Amino acid sequence: MTLQVKCRTLFNAEKVVAAETLIQRPSVYGLIVQNQQLLVVRATYTQRYVLPGGGIEKGEAMEAALIREVHEETGMAVKVGEFLHFQTDFFYYDPLDLAFHGFLFFFRCEPLSTQIGATHFTPDEGLDEPLWVNIDSLTEQDFQGHGALILTLVQKLSAAKHTD
């Protein structure tokens, strides 16, 4: 009997896939907060937000992967700060018909400038544009996935800044 796994799809539905088809994907994501705004990237297919970040390449250190991914997706240079959270994820990416067993690492990052730079997204990345959004205007539903977690982490960062 083949083990079946429920995955969250791009469009927030469920898709059951055979566990043997899952692609293991460690990835890193940066929470970049400046002046009560969060740096996000708009997803092409859903028009919802994702955090800048992505897959760690074989042989690449986590910090190097995060610096590279943030730069690729926002054109910005960052300094990687504290580790904030880890979780696993089962995600089905509809446009490419691929299922992932994700290992997600979230870090606080400090921008070395707040100016969004040039980005060049390939069509299979499914990303449109980076932008700063007001934290107070965000809801869980504004995010492609993990909205509740992201808002909790942002609140944690905001609370820490007020105690510094």
Number of Cβ within 10 Å of residue 95's Cβ equals 12
Q: Print the domain residue range for 119.
A: 4-163
Total domains in the fold of the chain: 1
Instruction: Give the phi and the psi of residue 12 in degrees, each rounded to 5.
Output: 60, 35
CATH of the domain at 137: 3.90.79.10
Is residue 12 a contact partner of residue 6, using CB atoms and an 8 Å limit? Answer: no
CA–CA distance, 97 with 108 (Å, rounded to integer) = 31
Could you read off the pLDDT tens digit of each residue along the chain, which spans 164 residues? 789 999 999 988 999 999 999 999 999 999 999 999 999 999 999 999 999 999 999 999 999 999 999 999 999 999 999 999 999 999 999 999 999 999 999 999 999 988 998 887 877 788 999 999 999 999 999 999 999 999 999 999 888 766 65
